Structure 1
Amino acid sequence: MLRWLLLLLALAAPPAQADVFRVGDYAIQPGMEPGSFDLSASIPSVLASNDPLGLPEGCRETARERLNEATVTRYAISIDCDRAVTAEDAIITPWAVDGGTFLSTATGTRVQQALQPTGDTLSLPIGAVAARQRALPEIAVEYTWQGIVHILGGWDHLAFVLCLCLLARGRYLLALVTTFTIGHSLSLALAFFDIVKVPVPPVEAVIALSIAFMAREAIQARAEDMADPHGRRRQLAVVAGFGLLHGLGFATVLRELGVAADERLSGLLFFNGGVELGQLIFVGCVLGVIKLAAIFDRDQWVRQAALYGAGIVGCFWMIERVAGFTLGTA
C-alpha cells in the first residue's frame, strides 16, 4: 500500500519552480498616428486568452497579434483613441495574474511601476505621468501578503520545511527552522540587491536536491544521533547552506514583481517577513497533523510516508529541472 502511495505522489507532483507567482509584464508607448498606442504584454501561457481589454471611453482596439511560446504568451495590441488620455484613464486587462510590471511612455514621460491585481483583472494607468507614491502601511500589507502567498504556494520550499519538521522536535526544531530562516533571509537580500548573481536554473535544481537530501537525513536519523552535538552542528550547517540556496529562489520572485526603486528596502523587509509568517503557519499545521495522527497511533506511519514522498518528489523535480536547463528550456 505504501509503495503505491509513494508512486502516486511522484506522478502527481506538480512542476515546482522558484518563481511560483504568475507575473505579467506590460509596456505601452505612443503609436505612429496621433491618438494611437501600442501595448505589449507578456503573460504566463496558462492564463492566456483572447478576451477583450477594458478600454477608456473613446478608445478602441484596432489590431492584436499573439505569439505562443513555451511558458509565456506575448501580445502586441494596437489601440486608437479619439481624445487625449487623462490621468484617470486606465486599461483593464483580462488575465488573472498575481502581479505585474508596467512601463509607459504614453504621455511622453517614462513611468515604471509594479502593479497589483483587483480580483482577476489588472489596471494599467495609461494616463499616468509619474509612478504613484504609496504609504508605508500599504507597502507593508502588499509585500507581507505576497511573501505569505509565495511560501504557501512554493511546493519545493514547503517540502524542505516539512522534512525539518519531521527530523526534529522542540528546541532543536526551532534551531533548525531559525537557521534556515537566517540563511534564506541573507541570500534573499544579497541577490535582490544584485550583490550576488547566480543563474536561476541550477539553483532550482539544487533546491530540489536539498529536499531529497533532507528527507534521507530525517529517515535515517536515530535518537542517539540527534543527541550527538557533533551531528547537530553538521545538520545545522547543512540547513544553513540549503537556506542560502532557497533564498536565491525567493529573490527571483521578488525581483520579477517589479518593485519600485523607492520601495526596494521596505518591499524586501516586508516580503521576507511574510515568508517567515507563512513558514510558521505551515510548521504549525504539520505539527498539528502529527499530533492528530499520534492520537490514532499512526504518527510514525504518517511520518515515514511523508518523508519518502518528499524524497521521491524532490528527486523527480531535480531530474526535471536538470533536463530542462540542459535542453535549454528552463
Structure 2
Amino acid sequence: MSRLAFSLPANTLRWIGWVAALLVITAIRSAAHAHGVGEDDRAFIEGASGTAIGPYMYLGAKHMVTGYDHLLFLVGVIFFLYRMKDVGAYVTLFAIGHSTTLLLGVLFDIRANPYLVDAIIGLSVVYKALDNLDGFRTLLGWTPNPKAAVLVFGFFHGFGLATKLQDLTLSRDGMVPNLVSFNFGVELGQFIALGAVLILMNLWRTTDSFRRGAVAANSALMCAGFVLVGYQLTGYLVLA
C-alpha cells in the first residue's frame, strides 16, 4: 500500500476549510436524525411483525449508502489500494467486524452511548487519513497494522448500526432473519457505494493531479473526521 509523506501544503488549507464548513452544515441539518432512523422507516420497523426480508434489506442498504461516516472511512481504506485482491481483503475484514457487532449488539441487547460510539467512528476516519499521509511513522516512528485497525474499527461501525436499531421497538417475531436481512442490505449498499467510488478513484489515478491532490484529499478527510468527532462529543455533552 502506498502512502504519502506527511505534509500540509498551504493551498490545502482552503480545501480543508470548505470540507469542514460543508460537514458542519450537514451535521446541523441532519441533527434530528443523527442517532436514529427516518420517521417513515421507524414507523415501518416498529409496526412490522414477522419476517420482512425485502424491506429490511432495503433499509440496510439505504443506511449504508446515506451513512457518510461509514463511507468516509471506506474511502480512506481504499484510497491507495490498486488491486482488487487488496480491496476485497480489507472490505471483507470491515464486513466481518461490523456484521459481528451489529448482530450481537441487537440480539443480546449490548448497549453503549450512541454519541460516544459515533465519536469513535469519526476517529476511525481521522486514523485512516493520518495513516494514508504516513503520519504515524512521521510522528510516532511506527505504523499500526492496517488490517487489524480496519477490523477493530469495523466492530465500532457495526456497533454504531446496532445503536440505531436498539432505539426502536423491534418485534421478536422474525428478529433473527430480519437482522440478517438488514446486515445483507448493509453489505449490498456498501458494494454499490464502493463500486462508484472505485470507478471515480481509478479515473482520478490516471491523471497527473492524483499525487498532488491525494495530500489535499486525505487532509480534508482527516478534517472531516475531526468534525464528526466534535459533533458527536457535543451531542453527548449537550443531549445525552
TM-score w.r.t. length of structure 1? 0.60
Match of 2:175 in 1: 264
Match of 2:233 in 1: 322
Matching residue within 86, 95, 98 for 1:184:
98
| CA displacement at 1:264 relative to structure 2 | 0.7
Matched-pair contact (CA < 8 Å) for 2:63–2:186: yes
1:258–1:169 CA distance, 2 compared to 1 (3 A)? farther
Aligned to 2:43, what secondary structure does the other structure show? strand
CA distance in 1, matches of 2:199, 2:215: 16
2:185 is the alignment partner of 1:274: yes
**Higher relative CO (CA 8 A, sep ≥ 6), structure 1 or 2?**
2
2:108 is the alignment partner of 1:194: yes
CA distance in 2, matches of 1:21, 1:307: 30
Match of 2:3 in 1: none
**CA deviation string 1:117-151 (max 9, x = no partner):** xxxxxxxxxxxxxxx755x5xx1210110011000
2:240 is the alignment partner of 1:308: no
CA distance in 2, matches of 1:217, 1:144: 33
CA distance in 2, matches of 1:8, 1:133: 45
**CA deviation string 1:25-82 (max 9, x = no partner):** xxxxxxxxxxxxxxxxxxxxxxxxxxxxxxxxxxxxxxxxxxxxxxxxxxxxxxxxxx
| CA displacement at 1:18 relative to structure 2 | 6.0
| CA displacement at 1:202 relative to structure 2 | 1.2
2:23 is the alignment partner of 1:7: no
CA distance in 2, matches of 1:114, 1:3: 45
2:61 is the alignment partner of 1:148: yes
Q: Work out the number of aligned pairs and report it.
A: 218
Match of 2:164 in 1: 253
Matched-pair contact (CA < 8 Å) for 1:156–1:211: yes
Matched-pair contact (CA < 8 Å) for 1:184–1:243: yes
CA distance in 2, matches of 1:308, 1:177: 22
Q: Which amino acid aligns with 2:121?
A: I
1:317–1:231 CA distance, 2 compared to 1 (3 A)? closer
Match of 2:154 in 1: 243
Match of 1:19 in 2: 35
CA distance in 2, matches of 1:299, 1:271: 36
Aligned to 1:191, what secondary structure does the other structure show? helix
Considering fraction of residues, name the structure with more strand.
1
2:132 is the alignment partner of 1:218: yes
Q: How does 1:70-81 map to 2 (within 5 A)?
A: none
CA distance in 1, matches of 2:97, 2:82: 20
Let me know the Cα RMSD of the aligned residues: 2.5
Identity %: 27
1:269–1:279 CA distance, 2 compared to 1 (3 A)? same
Q: How does 1:18-37 map to 2 (within 5 A)?
A: 19=35, 21-23=37-39
Q: Which amino acid aligns with 1:21?
A: V
CA distance in 2, matches of 1:205, 1:247: 13
| CA displacement at 1:308 relative to structure 2 | 1.8
Considering fraction of residues, name the structure with more helix.
2
Q: How does 1:8-157 map to 2 (within 5 A)?
A: 8-13=18-23, 14-15=26-27, 19=35, 21-23=37-39, 97-100=40-43, 114-115=46-47, 136=51, 139-157=52-70
Larger Rg: 1
Gaps of 5+ in 1: 24-96, 102-112, 116-131, 222-229
Aligned to 2:87, what secondary structure does the other structure show? helix
1:285–1:300 CA distance, 2 compared to 1 (3 A)? farther
CA distance in 2, matches of 1:18, 1:276: 21
1:198–1:20 CA distance, 2 compared to 1 (3 A)? closer
